[in-house]
Amino acid sequence: MTQDTTWLNRQRVFFEEGQSLWLFGYGSLIWKAEFAYHERRPARIEGWARRFWQGSHDHRGTPKSPGRVATLVESPGTTCQGMAYRIDADTLGPLDIREKNGYLRERVVLHFHDGSHAEGLIYLATEGNAAFLGDAPLLEMARQIAKAHGPSGSNRDYLLNLAAALEDLGAVDEHVFTLARQVHELQGDG
């Protein structure tokens, strides 16, 4: 099941025309930034946990065999590490299309390694969207990820690229790392 949120996001304007803003990437945006940006900095957000609970029917799976991609769930006391990009507001148009399968723009405070912080945007897929798959046993999620493939490539590659990018950042994310280990084991390469 898909839900095109492009139009909804175009109504969620949290910035002034011509303004540059920070965008926080916590999934593929960490390692696959295919958009123009002025600056790229490691950052974190607080009170959120990354989870493979969003279905991907348009990029890493198909409507008949959806993949699983990252979203955020509220988690008091938790920190989610990722990458922040300072972008021009008009860059959001193509990103709205990229993130159209259930993700909505939301405001969040980003914390940088130098102790500074700034307001920024995330794309968030909540349980209210049609593509939301929710929690499941990790082994079941790993099996789904190992076999799913869509127009943007294999779901396995999405997961493993994310795990490698997080390791490069020095981030700790047991949800992602456990899924990556299980996918390797399922495919006999771990």
Is 99 an active-site residue? yes
Query: Can you spell out the DSSP letters for 126-185?
Result: -TTSTTB-----HHHHHHHHHH-EETTEEHHHHHHHHHHHHHHHT---HHHHHHHHHHHH
Residue whose token pair is 């049609």: 130
Catalytic residue from among 39, 99, 127, 185: 99
**How far is Cα 23 from Cα 20, in angstroms, rounded to an integer?**
10
**How far is Cα 160 from Cα 20, in angstroms, rounded to an integer?**
31
Structure tokens given for 162: 């994310």
**How far is Cα 36 from Cα 87, in angstroms, rounded to an integer?**
7
Catalytic (active-site) positions: 99
